[in-house]
Chains A and B, each alone.
Chain A
Amino acid sequence: MLALGVFLLAAFLLLVFTIVRRRSPGVFRRIGAYERLNRAVGLAVENGTRLHVSLGRGNLFTARGASALAGLAMLRRLAERTSVSDRPPVVTSGEASLAILSQDTLQSAYRAAGAEEQYRFTTGRVTGFVPFAYAAGAMPLTREENVSANLVIGDLGAEVALLAEASDRENADLIGASDNLSAQAILYASSQEPLIGEELFVGGAYVGAGRSHEASLHVQDVLRWLLILVILGGAFLRFMGFEF
């Protein structure tokens, strides 16, 4: 019942903030990685280079799939923004259903931008089904496809270091976020602007994916403060001798 309560509260807040956001545009704190991403998107269009979006290998049947879904939401917006370029983004994933969704996302983004002829099904690729095979397949893309920025967003493990190294070797920008703690530590050491923890899920709001993304960012903030209060309250009650 507690889980259902949290779900209903979050749903209610999402609805309220989506309506409120319609009236006033959101103001967010600065996140260097997303500023770099927005710059990289503009540069890729101007230079005629590509973006590489790596969605990882998050299984959609598990909670790990959520990070890939966040990546797909960003991909949708980025594909729309780069639809004027003659070199559309290339998307790699290590999970078949994720690759199909990435192809669908690319196609609907181009359709929305009125550039459906840009869509090629080979731009949404599976590069391998196990972690290292996936990384080994995605590594050469930066060199072969003239990639100027790599956006690694999804469920990846330690193999993300190989992708980061490949990106660094070609002097490409690397913007990386993962729900996996090992990958987060590696990306912290390897990328110019690291994304930590829940910053992975707020990308949509920072790339202009719509007011629902801004609203969900505000709901995350509200729920986080509620959690902090519950933790502090619980600690205080235990300190006072209450058992629960």
Chain B
Amino acid sequence: MSVLRVLTAAFAIASGIIVLLGYFLPVPTLMQLRSLLTDWAIILAGTAVLVGILNLVAVQMEKVRTGQKSGIYGALLVLALIVTFGFGLLLGPDDPLIQWTVDAIIVPVEASLMSLLTVTLIYASIRLLRRRADVMSVLFLLVALLFLSAVLFTAFSPALGDGLMDLVGMFSRGGTRGLLLGIALGTLLTGMRVLFGIDRPYGGN
């Protein structure tokens, strides 16, 4: 078992280094290997989706089997999944019936969740000061209000709205870049830990 774990780790590290070198060095062999490994990974990811669907079904069926309150929703989900999957396989994704399923069920459900999200966000903003009454929270709410007023003013007085947008945008662009630089550094180091086999989320340690 431990030999398998070492082999898994060695293969993962080697693949990672080859793909990375394929990006950095313009050597044709490396670039071909990079492309081949990426293609393999895409095929594996496609298979993983099927495994994910099986996992989803197993979890929902477990709810039904143990008689949980939400078991009925689980059963409904599995039934809808089987019917849609079956029709999708038989008719193809471009069939009008499949398109109708998307337009008449999925889009309205997502839209209703989006509207629920709007209410949730307003509620969260109102409660922010109760949860954390500090300078940063006040500043956060003031900037949010300023952005909203800038959008409103753009409709009535474009010059004023644009001016406000420019003012707020100047600070927000700087802040955004700072946050993104921090995230980029974190991404680099996290990737490096996985690449060198320090973190092995694939069961290697």
Contacts and interface: CB of A to CB of B under 8 A. Distances in A.
Residue of B49, B70, B185 with most partner-chain A CB within 10 A = B185
B186 A200 contact: yes
Interface size bucket, A side? 35 or more
A99 B59 CA distance: 13
Given A10-B189, A66-B187, A224-B182, A105 B49 contact: no
B187 A161 contact: no
A91 B48 CA distance: 17
B187 A108 contact: no
Given A63-B187, A105-B203, A201-B186, A189 B113 contact: no
B181 interface: yes
Nearest to B5: A108
Contact of B124 (A179, A190, A196, A202): A190
Contacts of B204: 108
A113 interface: no
Interface string B168-186: 0000000010111111111
Given A122-B59, A179-B183, A192-B132, A96 B51 contact: yes
Nearest to B117: A161
A161 B121 contact: yes
A165 B202 contact: no
B189 A201 contact: yes
A198 B201 contact: no
A40 interface: no
Contacts of A128: 56
A132 B109 CA distance: 9
Contacts of A216: 189-190, 192-193
A202 B48 contact: no
Nearest to A68: B201
- The A contact surface, by secondary structure, is helix
Contacts of B185: 198, 201, 220, 223-224, 227
A126 interface: yes
A189 B128 contact: yes
Contacts of A96: 45, 48-53, 55
Contacts of B123: 165
A127 B132 CA distance: 31
B148 interface: no
B183 A165 contact: no
A196 B181 CA distance: 12
Interface stretch (A23-31, A46-54, A81-89, A180-188): A180-188
Interface in A184-218: 184, 186, 188-190, 192, 196-198, 200-202, 204, 210, 212-213, 216
Contact of B203 (A14, A108, A140): A108
A69 B190 contact: yes
A72 B188 contact: no
Given A162-B117, A198-B182, A14 B199 contact: no
Shortest beta-carbon contacts, A-B, top 3: A96-B52, A201-B186, A198-B182
Interface of B: 20, 24, 38, 41-42, 44-45, 48-53, 55-56, 58-59, 62, 68-70, 109-110, 113-114, 116-117, 120-121, 123-125, 128, 131-132, 140, 176, 178-194, 196, 198-205
16 contacts: A10-B189, A67-B190, A69-B199, A73-B201, A96-B45, A96-B50, A108-B200, A132-B109, A135-B113, A140-B70, A161-B120, A192-B132, A198-B183, A201-B186, A216-B193, A223-B188
Given A7-B20, A105-B203, 10 more contacts: A14-B192, A69-B199, A97-B48, A99-B52, A129-B49, A201-B183, A201-B187, A212-B199, A216-B193, A224-B182
